[in-house]
Chains A and B, each alone.
Chain A
Amino acid sequence: MLKKLLVVSALSLGVLAVPTTSVDVNASPQIFENMTGSWRGKGKVKSGPKAKNESIRCKLKSRPDGSSKLKMTGNCAVSGFVFSLNGFIQQNGGKNSYTANMFRSFANLKQSNFSGKRSGSKINFSFKARDRIGKQDVSARITMNSKSAKAFDVAISRTDPKSGKIFSVGTIRFSKR
């Protein structure tokens, strides 16, 4: 059970990001509108390239805070462990760049916020975090794909501290409640 946490903390590096998407520079309000509401997420994630999949479930509520910011509250659960998703995603001055901070404490992020860029209906967030187990820096990437007003996916990938290679942590599919 204790060690499971270690797994989970690794997993969490990915799960953290549950955020938004957009298509063009001015598309954020539409994406944020799509994102507003109560969501349930379900999927499978893993801690290492050769680790087995773990079930993950999330609950998320998001509401707009102005036209370019989305506030989020919720949490995800993996096995016996729960972590918070509370935070925000913000479009930076109408540009194609975003800032988020939703899972800072849990993810052991080295920076207070992290940034992302939109590409089509997806926003890709990249950040550096400190692996709780190996105490090594890892690179992680979270891709949010806003599929419709009723669904979006969050795909997570990160580097394996041992090999340095990127592997897919997993995908969480969110649907509106």
Chain B
Amino acid sequence: MINGFGLHKLGLMALRNPVISTILLAMISFAAIIGINKLEFSGENIEILRDGSQELADYDELLGQFRNFNNDAVVLMRIDNLSTVEGIETFRDLNFEFQLDERVESILSIFSLVKYGGPDEGWQSALPAEYESDAEVLESLKQLAADIPSSQSLFSPNFDSAVMVVYTKAEATKDKNVQETMDGLTALAKEFNSETVNVTIAGQPAIRADLIHSIVADLLLLAPLAFLFCAVLAFILFRQPIAMLLCALPSLLSIGWFLGSAGLTGTSLNFLTNILPALLIVIVFADTLHLYLKWQKLSQKNEDYVATLKQAIVEVGPACALSSVTTAAALLSLCLSGNNGLYELGIIGAIAVFGGFISVIVAFPLGAYWASKSGFKPKKSIASKVGIIAGPAMKLLNYRKSVLFVGLLLCIAGLYAHTVIDSRFRLIDYLGNQSEVSQSENYIDSTYYGSTPLFAIVDMDQTIALDDPKNEGRVYETIEAVKDVFPAGSFYSLADFADEIKKAGGKIDEKLIDELPRFLTSRFISEDKSQVLVTIFSSANLSESEMQERLANMDTALEKRSLSEVVKITGYPVLSGVVAPRLMDNLRISLLVAVLLSIILIALSAGSIKLGLACLVPNMLPIVCVELILYLLGIPLNMSIAVALTVAFGIAVDDSIHMLNQYMLNRRDHDNLPAVAGAVKEVTPALFSTTLILSGGLIIMCFSTLPAMAVFALVVIMTLVLAFLADIFQLPAYLAILNDKRSEK
């Protein structure tokens, strides 16, 4: 029998003191309820990418030396015709409304651009204070595009839209405030909506607010629905309301404990840890079903239900413990990615899985104990009737070498897919399907140069004055390099203002900059004036190859001008285009580590390297087959899929453990082949029931507004179904072949 590291004894201990254990359980659950009320959510998506790399260090330098550009929202106004008096005045009104909002620090739009009008007129808005005719509007916009090329990144060439960058106050965009802030700003924007005008908001604060909205929606709506769906399926299988409640209780408790602990420890739920409630439903329901089905089976022959309960814990508990350990190990393997977000998911997930195991091994027996004391008798369920599915699997044992060969071929094909499948990270993949933010991001990416800027940080020589020709030359040379790669009008810098001042015979110097508010100068120059910024409008949704190409071209352009040592390119597009794909490569490695770790754990637990190896191919198959399917469909690997595969492996291996456990039990009294056949016959109904219920529950999660969550659920379902097939067809073949010699003895 599988060795569950003695963890199953917790259940036996609870049954020895059911009253005290129940009170303890109730107290823990009560504390969890208090914690749930303190639960917070985070839309953070940059910290998640943090991996200690140079790219992150450069990005931190940008935020530290200049300003937190992650607080910048982009307001998009789509309008029939901006080049009319009505159109431009509507946009002007919108600008003022946002400028005057208490959550906004300042804005950048066509109305905030200035021109120097000479000594008498001084500095003034590039656009007039009022218009008298549509022709005047059209002319002034054309003139603006000619005079200030960067203005072309603020209105579309065919005048059907305009954007403004809204620099929100830091306090307004903290996690606890960002949703309220964006709701307020969105309400402000909606006041302008009409038949001809549509105003939406994109950019980091909007993305974060949208993520939080979807996380909360999933938690409040989909997770309970998934849970109920699992419970209903359990009722259909068992036809006993009490049986359904008993099977649902551990899941419910484990989710409550997880959320409560997160609330009490101040751990915010983010778009990665958001998968954990669904994950808990899946694994806790599965283990509870195994325990319940064993108890039910034993109770058909023995009416001392407490005794059968204890026996069920002894027989299935170790397998439940081991399956939790392997799932936790799979989650912990995510820590190897060297990435903050996944490290957090790995650690929190492993703890949550352990909590889930406690709820299975303690709460279920206690529930069953009190139920049986109240007269509940577990009846034979229709689950046992699905044992018919075991028939073909048992027949295939006669062709085990062919089955094994087919499995190996599939595994090789899957491993090939594993190594060649593309990876991609797009922030919009993590936004709701119908999200206005997502649609606005797409529109801005296609109509403008993008909503997420890239930055060229130019180091100034501090031994000379800021306005020394050598320093000035560095900035202008950098701009020339930017022009080599990015379209004209897609960038702006201090040079734009310096040029305007030069027209009047003046020049920008340190004294002049000191006289201006920091919130304004922080867009262009560091506080100590050691670095100057060139801001390039770009997208956070470029593919890895597109981004790499642009960065390589930029490197070449800088190198050509001997600027490589003094100019750094950074920004969110670098993180999403370079850091995130690298992260996904690391995830692939952590997946292989999870596989090896689980096989080692199984081998240790079974006390047999051979049995551990028997589980290798059947457990790799579901993962690599999913990758093969994705590869054949041309779907690139994204972070959700990579995480899902790792987590799904941890879950899928559970089936093997239960099969192996039963096989080892059978081996006490039978030869090898009958022991394998007996295990298939015995465990298949439980595996089928759990796969059915878990897939059913996860199907609900496919309706999540968070595409990442839906993809996660879909990948896990595919893996679970493939794991079920591999465990009833492949694993028995391996057990039969690898242990043939023992059988002969």
Contacts and interface: CB of A to CB of B under 8 A. Distances in A.
Contacts of A44: 129-130
Interface stretch (B116-124, B405-413, B694-702): B116-124
Nearest to B116: A3
B497 A3 contact: yes
B113 interface: yes
A132 B699 CA distance: 64
A117 B450 CA distance: 54
Given A4-B114, A50-B121, A51-B117, A77 B500 contact: no
B497 A51 contact: no
Contact of B107 (A3, A4, A48, A80): A80
A75 B96 CA distance: 11
Interface string A64-86: 00000000000111011110000
B121 A6 contact: no
Contacts of B128: 52
B100 A7 contact: no
A176 B501 CA distance: 41
Nearest to B113: A1
Interface centre among B104, B129, B494, B497 (most CB of A within 10 A): B129
Contact of B99 (A47, A48, A50, A77): A77
Contacts of A132: 515
Contacts of A3: 114, 116, 123, 497, 500-501
Q: How large is the interface on A (under 10, 10 to 19, 20 to 34, 35 or more residues)?
A: 20 to 34
Interface string A129-159: 0001000000000000000000000000000
Interface stretch (A12-20, A21-29, A53-61): A53-61
Nearest to A2: B497
A80 B123 contact: no
Contacts of A79: 111-112, 114, 125
A44 B124 CA distance: 13
Nearest to B100: A59
A54 B100 contact: no
A7 B114 contact: yes
A4 B129 contact: no
Given A3-B123, A51-B122, A81-B106, A57 B100 contact: yes
Contacts of B634: none
Contacts of B516: 2, 5
Contacts of B501: 3
A79 B109 CA distance: 9
A57 B124 contact: no
Given A4-B112, A5-B517, A75 B100 contact: yes
Contacts of B508: 2
B124 A7 contact: yes
B224 to A, nearest CB: 42
Given A2-B497, A55-B92, A57-B100, A50 B123 contact: no
B34 interface: no
A48 B96 contact: no
A76 B116 CA distance: 23
B111 A80 contact: yes
B178 to A, nearest CB: 21
Interface core residue of A1, A44, A48, A59 (most chain B CB under 10 Å): A1
Interface in B385-415: none
Interface string B345-362: 000000000000000000
Nearest to B120: A50
Contacts of A54: 124-125, 129
B108 interface: yes
B24 interface: no
Contacts of A51: 117, 120-122, 124
A48 B500 CA distance: 19
Interface string B493-533: 01011001100000010001101110011001000000000
Contacts of B123: 3-4, 6-7, 47
A52 B121 CA distance: 7
Contacts of B520: 1-2, 5, 81
A47 to B, nearest CB: 6
A2 B501 CA distance: 10
Given A6-B123, A51-B124, A54-B124, A1 B99 contact: no
Question: Taking each of B109, B125, B496, B513, which has the highest tally of chain A beta carbons within 10 Å of its own beta carbon?
Answer: B125
B492 to A, nearest CB: 9
Given A44-B129, A55-B92, A57-B100, A1 B121 contact: no
Interface in A62-113: 75-77, 79-82
Nearest to A5: B516
B100 A58 contact: yes
Given A2-B516, A5-B520, A57-B96, A48 B125 contact: no
Contacts of B107: 80
Interface string B480-499: 00000000000000101100
Interface in B82-140: 92, 96, 99-100, 102, 104-109, 111-114, 116-117, 120-125, 128-130
A132 B123 CA distance: 14
Q: What 4 pairs across the A-B complex have the smallest Cβ distances?
A: A80-B112, A4-B114, A77-B99, A3-B123
Interface of A: 1-7, 44, 47-48, 50-55, 57-59, 75-77, 79-82, 132
Given A2-B521, A51-B117, 15 more contacts: A1-B520, A2-B497, A3-B114, A3-B123, A3-B497, A44-B130, A47-B122, A48-B122, A52-B128, A55-B96, A55-B130, A57-B99, A57-B100, A76-B100, A77-B99
17 contacts: A2-B512, A2-B524, A3-B123, A3-B501, A4-B112, A5-B516, A7-B114, A50-B121, A51-B117, A55-B96, A57-B96, A76-B100, A79-B112, A79-B114, A80-B106, A82-B100, A82-B105
